[in-house]
Amino acid sequence: MNRIARGSLLGIEHMEVAEIVGLLRLARRMNPLKPRPLLRGKRVLLLFYEASTRTRSSFEIAAKSMGAMTTLVLSSGSSIEKGESLLDTAYTLRAVGADLIVVRHPHAGAPLLMATHLDIPVLNAGDGMHEHPTQALLDAYTILRHKKSIKGLQVAIVGDIYHSRVARSAIHLLSKFGARITLCGPPEFLPEVATSLAPGLHITRTAEDAIRGGDVIMVLRVQKERLAGMKIRLQDYIARYQMTMTRLKLAKRDALVMHPGPIIRGLELTWEVADCPQSVIVEEVRNGVPVRMAILAKALGRAR
Amino acid sequence: MPNTHPVLDSSEWITWAQQPERGAVVNVFPVAAATHASKGAALTDFRGLQRAGAVAVTDDGRPILSEDIMRETLRVAAEINLPVIQHAEDTRMTENCSMNDGPTAFRLGLRGMKAAAEATIVERDVQLAQQFTGARLHVAHLSTADALKAVRRGKRGRTRVTCEVTPHHFTLIDENVGEYDTNFKMNPPLRSISDREALLVALADGTVDAIATDHAPHAPHEKIIEFERALFGITGLETALGIAITRLHREQKIPLARIVELFTAGPARVVDLRGRGTLVRGSYADVTIFDPKKRWTFDASKSLSKSHNTPFNGWQLTGKVVATIVGGVIQYRA
């Protein structure tokens, strides 16, 4: 296989801990209110084959605030609709002068395919059910704003783990840093094979067991768009796995409630939980900007 | 195989496929579609197809899922001693899947085909074949340990069930997909290590009747794309013997004679090719001469195939074809 373009960020799985620590440190030096013009003269292409609110806007704001020019290409309204292949689209964007491409794609491995055929960095903004590395990095950043270290933290990840690229990236990252991770969900959302993803993972089918004594509770969205042919009764799911204030009380008093968004109030979590003092859901979104500033600066060799 | 456009579902097409004007330098033994347009609804004219030269019937990549249609296929084919080949896959269980279900699929975020999607169809087909005297079932490119169990059960009873295995399935496992390498994407998919070990045992003990390549060339634009969108299938003709000798003989210590059987007499028995697959006096002079000790490296870019979609590029192999003789004429010389 071809070499991966320098500076690319494709997934957490193959990253070294030192590299992650470096990015998080750099993110802490990024001030979205007083950004340094580290990316002046750079062209950042945002290529989105799937819907996005948070990731897209925070990448765009991060890039622009550091002086880069950004162009957004969506699958609808572009030549992708006419059947242009992923690689031909990538070559086209390179030819118009892109210095970096941020890509979100419904198919796992699509960013890797681009990165092995281009000479500019490719940043994975979510590929199918595979990884969403920038989300995992901003989640680690958020956790570290509240906790001294990730090592030894008890983390519960509750919900549709099978379909979740956020979960895969988070599991890789938290596991590398020595968190104790419990995965929780019904078999349809959490097959036993999930424990093979990283060392020391535990599975429970009972939300209460997962949450009890937890330092971090990560709630995942039920991804209706990926439920091809699955027979999940939402009412049963809500009864057994919805994050409620009652369940949250089982966690440590200073536990963080996290969610990558978009949240569906009344489904995977209640209105009260979403807005409770332990909820850092909005803060995660806010932290996405400095973290993505750091990722962009590092990718383009402008990390200072 | 009738997975062609158009589908080989009439005696006219079967006759056409064998016409000398098409310029084949090897023997062509067509397998006809079992149902019209391989739609799994109405049976084709088995007698007519057989008379035209079809050696078996199958719907190949569009397996016969309906129990009634499969029963009827086996029943009618049994009357004329025609083998029924099934690509055993319950496609209702494998929608949107692109590799084997397991740790690698989970890690890559790919939907996985469960072994049960193959095994349940083989189990059912073996049971159906038992219902008709003379019914012959051949399981194409069998890939799972559970499907092997069903074949063994059938063989122990009176069922005439045969099966074939591909070099890639007895050599590689799902882990080898690595980071979305589409040269490792085929259907049935590369399976778990325990499935592969079961295949090796079955190749040695006689359960497997033939080695088949499931050769499927594809153009670059069908393979150098997103893994989930890439077409299933790999080439395999040029590497089959080298892989078999390297893996089965040198590593697994399976006797060379058994490997030769799996490539010759075995497949000839599966579809009743009389006077072929043997060197007995009076047989057709179809002979492959090979050097079992010749060491070579397979370079896909120098492949004789137009396609380069192989997982074995750069592999060091032992055992190489020196010459191929078809009907007494040397057709290939290394």
What letter represents residue B173's amino acid? I
Three-class SS of residue B294? Answer: strand
Interface of B with A in 71-100 (CB under 8 A): 95-96
pLDDT of residue A241: 97
Burial (0-12, 13-18, 19+ Cβ within 10 Å), A69: middle
Please state, for a pLDDT cut of 90, what percent of chain B lies above it. 98
Using alpha carbons, list the distances in angstroms from residue B285 to B23, B26, B32, B237, B268. 19, 12, 26, 21, 14
CA B16, B17, B20: angle at the middle one, nearest 5? 80
pLDDT of A4 > 90? The answer is yes
Nearest-angstrom CA–CA distance, A53 and B225: 27
Residue intervals in chain A for CATH 3.40.50.1370 = 17-131+286-299, 134-284
Q: Which of B95, B103, B228 sits opposite A228 (nearest CB)?
A: B95
Q: At what angle do helices A54-65 and A133-146 cross, to 10 degrees?
A: 80
CA A162, A165, A167: angle at the middle one, nearest 5? 70
Q: How confident is the model at residue A81 (pLDDT cuts 50, 70, 90)?
A: confident
Nearest-angstrom CA–CA distance, A215 and A156: 8
Cα-to-chain-centroid distance, residue A41: 27
- Please enumerate in sequence order all residues whose Cβ is within 8 A of that of A280, keeping only pairs 6 or more positions apart, or say none: A142, A146, A256, A257, A258
Entry field: residues in chain B: 334
Cα distance from N-terminal residue to C-terminal residue, chain B:
27
Interface of A with B in 43-102 (CB under 8 A): 85-87
ipTM: 0.96
Reported as a single tens digit per residue, the pLDDT across A171-228 is 999 999 999 999 999 999 999 999 999 999 999 999 999 999 999 999 999 877 666 6
A228 CB within 8 Å of a chain B CB: yes
Task: Evaluate whether residue B333 is within a structural domain.
Answer: no
pLDDT of B255 > 70? The answer is yes
Residues of B in contact with A193 (CB under 8 A): 101-103, 106
Residues of A in contact with B102 (CB under 8 A): 193
H/E stretch holding B287: strand B287-297
Please give the mean pLDDT across all residues of chain A.
Answer: 95
Q: How confident is the model at residue A234 (pLDDT cuts 50, 70, 90)?
A: confident
pLDDT of residue A228: 60
Strand order in the sheet with A180-184: A202-204, A180-184, A154-158, A216-219, A256-258
B314 CB within 8 Å of a chain A CB: no
Please answer yes or no on whether A128 and B106 come within 8 Å at the CB atom. no
Active site residue ranges of B: 214
What is the domain class of A17-131+286-299 according to CATH? Answer: alpha beta
pLDDT of residue A226: 63
Please answer yes or no on whether B180 and A86 come within 8 Å at the CB atom. no
Task: Evaluate whether residue B287 is within a structural domain.
Answer: no
Range of the domain at B86: 63-282
Mean pLDDT value across residues B101-108: 98
Beta strand A180-184 with A202-204 is parallel
Shortest Cα distance, chain A CAs vs residue B180, angstroms: 6
Q: How confident is the model at residue B231 (pLDDT cuts 50, 70, 90)?
A: very high
Nearest-angstrom CA–CA distance, B311 and B236: 9
Three-class SS of residue B284? Answer: coil
Please state, for a pLDDT cut of 70, what percent of chain A lies above it. 97
Check: CATH 3.20.20.140 for A134-284? no
pLDDT of residue A2: 82
Please check whether residue A236 is in contact with residue A197, taking contact to mean a CB–CB distance below 8 angstroms.
no
Shortest Cα distance, chain B CAs vs residue A183, angstroms: 14
pLDDT of residue B1: 93
Task: Evaluate whether residue B167 is within a structural domain.
Answer: yes
Beta bridge partners of A122: A101
Residues of B in contact with A1 (CB under 8 A): 179, 181
| Tokens, residue A148 | 């001294």
pLDDT of residue A230: 64
Nearest-angstrom CA–CA distance, B20 and B26: 11
For an interface test with A, the pick among B92, B179, B184 (most A C-beta atoms closer than 10 Å) comes out as: B179
Domains identified in chain B, total number: 1
Please answer yes or no on whether A108 and B107 come within 8 Å at the CB atom. no
More confident residue, B119 or A83: B119
Nearest-angstrom CA–CA distance, A247 and B297: 61
CA B104, B110, B116: angle at the middle one, nearest 5? 75
A157 CB within 8 Å of a chain B CB: no
pLDDT of residue B303: 92
Which residue bears the tokens 């395999």?
B236
- CATH code for the domain in which residue B70 is found: 3.20.20.140
**Number of A–B residue contacts, CB under 8 Å:** 64
Please check whether residue A165 is in contact with residue A226, taking contact to mean a CB–CB distance below 8 angstroms.
no
pLDDT of residue A107: 97
Interface of A with B in 232-271 (CB under 8 A): none
